[in-house]
Structures are given as structure tokens and as C-alpha cells.
Structure 1
């Protein structure tokens, strides 16, 4: 493994369950792959822009002339996309907000899910171009969404698996830190998730 890309989303710093578990995972990955380059991209600190008209045209145009004219608007997207494509493993550590992903993570996704770069349209449908990569999702939530009455309310893991599969990343594992807002579970959430990190197939 040559490069690992770790995307962190929570703005809560040391109080973040997803960041705490991601730290445990990063330590294990560094131990297993000491020569690998680990890139930690903090979306809470970077404030990536949401797509506007100019950037959208810059990253989606098929006109070489227009692409050249708008290359400045595509520069950040180009860099983030290159970073993803050059990585062997993608880790996304994110909280659940209102049953979905934070807009900061959606902004990153919109900048790297690009026609001609990470997917293309073929005769049989969409072909993912970010193949031969693995992904790990570190998902934190206040409630429990893997079972019970809130299971249908989870729009984080299904969406992330769908969008990763869309660009060709189908080997996806998940670690959950769930129940942070439930007093009878909260103390055990991060230790349990850290144990799950040790059980991942890396």
C-alpha cells in the first residue's frame, strides 16, 4: 500500500467519536504499512466550496477550449481527484447529522465524482474509474441505526456505499460508533468501535 487518504469531517475536535476512532485506525494502518503516505484531509478546517456554476462547468465540460478557459476553476477539484485516484485506501470518518452526511463531506464528494475522471458513461451504463481501491467508513451517530426502529432512518452508510460503488470502489468496510447520545451506551461506544477497528481486514 503506497497511499492512504483519510477524510475527517467532524468539527468537534477531541470530543468527536469519529475522529477518535479514526485515530485508532490510522495508528493501526501506520503500523501495518509504515512506508505508506497517510494524507489526513480535515474538511471541518478546509471549508471546501460547494459547487457553483463556473466550477460545475469546468469539471464537466467536454469542450477542450472551454476546459482550458476554465482550468483555474477546476484546479481544486483536480487536486482532490488526483489525491483520491492516487490512493489505495480511502477512509471516511464522519458523523451523522439529521440522518445524513454533513454538507462538508457532500462538497468533497461533488468535487471528486467527475465524469471522465472517476466515472464514465458506457454502452451498458456507468463505469467506475476509481477501481482496485478499498474504503473504510467510520460512522458516528447519536442513536443506533444498524438495528431497531431507526434502521430505516440511516441515509449515511447506504449513500456512501452507493456513491463509492458508482466510482468503482466496491470493497467497503464499516466501523460504527453509534449510540453516543444514549446514556446507557455512550461510555462504551468508542471502546467498542476501537475493538471493531482491530477486527478489520487490512
Structure 2
């Protein structure tokens, strides 16, 4: 479970993720839930050291840069060992927070989660499911702001790129709209109960 919001107990995405975790535990009592808090754990953004470390095809170079690739390796192993990926994130300025982008940049890696082939790209994380828990100040599932949502389409695209195409979404939306805010999390929690788990 990837959690992104720095708002702690005031976070709508975290509150709904808690409900989802409880539901998963109730349905699959032997399941192991791994929670990764990207607000507390500051992942590195790709830089002049990390980028070559995770993209080199030269074995000698890979060995030399293995320490710089260690975090990426750990995150990818965690993803590939899971059956279900949950991403709980707020929408910031119509997109994802940079902390989540840093995680994506470290796990979307050639030779590990995708590979190029004659037919294009082959995702290597197939057979997994994903649930997106999205929180937003406005309403983006309908109405005039629908086309401004760059969170769900992007996450679905990048997950599909690595082979995860079974994706469900739960939204706590309207968090900054007084008439909707008080019911946004309860409505999303009810939607969790309707997910195919």
C-alpha cells in the first residue's frame, strides 16, 4: 500500500486506505499488508547517479552503481511480490505529488517491470490488481472539471505500461466543497465495500 499524503490523520486518502486495509484483512486474514509512507520516506528523484544506476545494461557499470540502484531494487521486489497494489494519493494541482512520481520513476524500470520487444513494450508485472484511492478538493468524475483530472488517467496508463491492467478506483472528492466535504470520506468508505477484492 503506497500512501502519499503528508496530512496524517487529516488525510482523506489515508482514511479511506485504512478502511480498505481493514476490509482486506477481514476478507483475507492471512494476507500481509505492506504500507509504504512516501510522505515520511523521502525517495530520491532521478538524478545523475540514480538514472544510470537503474538503466545501465553494462554489468560492470551496474556493479559499480549497485548501491545507487538498491532502493529501486527494493521497491520493485516489493511490487513484484505483491498480488494487489494500493496507491492512496491526493490530487495536487490536477496531478500527482512529486513523492509518488519519484516512486513511479524508481519502479518503472527496463528489464525489471517492463521490456522492449519487437511488438513494442511488454509489461513484466502482469497478473496483479491495483486499487487507486484518490482524494481531491474538487469533483473530477463528472462536470466541468472532469477533463482536468490527470491523476487517474496517468496512473492507469503507467500501471498498464508495466502490465497491471486490472485497476479499480475509489474517490474521496469534493473535499474543498462545503456541501460535499462532510460526506466525501464516508461515501468513499462505502465504495470500498463494493470493490471486487
TM-score, normalisation: structure 1: 0.97
Q: 1:130 aligns with which of 121, 125, 133?
A: 125
Partner residue of 1:139? 134
2:75 is the counterpart of 1:75: no
Q: Any runs of at least 4 consecutive aligned residues in structure 1 with deviations exceeding 6 A, and if so which?
A: none
Partner residue of 1:201? 196
Partner residue of 2:81? 86
Partner residue of 1:35? 30
Deviation of 1:34 after TM superposition, in Å, equals 1.1
Deviations 1:20-58 (A, max 9, x none): 000000000011111111100000000111111111101
CA distance in 1, matches of 2:74, 2:68: 11
Tell me the secondary structure at the aligned position of residue 62 of structure 1: coil
Partner residue of 2:95? 100
Partner residue of 1:175? 170
Deviation of 1:128 after TM superposition, in Å, equals 0.1
Partner residue of 1:10? 5
CA distance in 1, matches of 2:82, 2:134: 21
CA distance in 1, matches of 2:48, 2:113: 20
Partner residue of 2:21? 26
2:55 is the counterpart of 1:60: yes
Deviation of 1:189 after TM superposition, in Å, equals 0.3
CA distance in 2, matches of 1:26, 1:136: 11
The number of aligned residues is 197
The gaps in structure 1 that reach 5 residues or longer are: 1-5
Deviation of 1:118 after TM superposition, in Å, equals 0.1
The gaps in structure 2 that reach 5 residues or longer are: none
CA distance in 2, matches of 1:14, 1:54: 35
Partner residue of 1:3? none
CA distance in 2, matches of 1:159, 1:21: 21
Deviations 1:167-193 (A, max 9, x none): 000000000100000011111100000
TM-score, normalisation: structure 2: 0.99
